[in-house]
Amino acid sequence: MESITETAVLQDSKGDSIEIRVTGYGHPDAQRLSAEVQEEYVRRYGDGDLTVLHPDDFEPPAGLFLIAYLAGEPVACGGWRAKTADPHGVRDGDAELKRMFVVPAARGRGLARVVLGRLERTAAEAGRTRIVLETGTEQPEAVALYTSEGYEPIRKFGIYRDHPQSICLGKEFGGAPAV
């Protein structure tokens, strides 16, 4: 099994080399990309994501944060954190996907799909049984990506569970329904 701390070099849909690094959420590049995704949320929803995230949430083996680099520049990111059961549908063994983002200039290269695949694989290798996420109606490209990768609607969770624009999706590892 490949170490989750290993750097990987892959190719994007345009044939360019993409370096995927495990950086941790506290890394300066992760913080910069996280600030950019927050700006994107403000443009789309009028406010940033108020979910509290801490760098420790993404430390292996209970989480992971990845950054994709193109020509040495950070262009995409995403992470997962281990979750325990709560009254709103999150189950023991879940991994919650957070801060999936591709900078606008690097979109259309398949980077989100590459990062998502690495996050799913590392979460499954860490013993997580399902991956869950919250997105929204103002992110149709994100919803399209996740549904094309087998994600299905699940019970709403998180601080936006009662918000009408919130969409929660999940994917079981092993092919069972994510409900």
> What does the pLDDT look like over 26-71, one tens digit per residue?
999 999 999 999 999 999 999 999 899 999 999 999 999 999 999 9
Q: Residue 2's pLDDT is what?
A: 41
pLDDT at 7 over 90: no
Give yes or no for a contact between 99 and 89, defined as CB atoms under 8 angstroms apart: no
Which option is the CATH number for 8-172: 3.30.365.10, 3.40.50.1100, 3.40.50.880, 3.40.630.30? 3.40.630.30
Q: Residue 175's pLDDT is what?
A: 60
Degrees (nearest 5) of the Cα angle 56, 60, 62?
75
The chain-wide mean pLDDT, for the chain, equals 92
Task: For residue 3, name the pLDDT band (cuts at 50, 70, 90).
Answer: very low
In what side-by-side order are the strands of the sheet with 130-136?
A: 8-11, 17-22, 63-70, 73-82, 94-102, 130-136, 166-172, 152-153
176 or 138, greater pLDDT: 138
Single pTM value for the model: 0.90
Neighbour tally for 19: CB within 10 Å: 15
Q: Mean pLDDT, to the nearest integer, of 139-161?
A: 96
Degrees (nearest 5) of the Cα angle 140, 145, 146?
100
Task: For residue 177, name the pLDDT band (cuts at 50, 70, 90).
Answer: low
Q: Residue 1's pLDDT is what?
A: 31
Number of H helices, E strands in the chain: 3, 8
CA 159 to chain CA centroid, Å, is 17
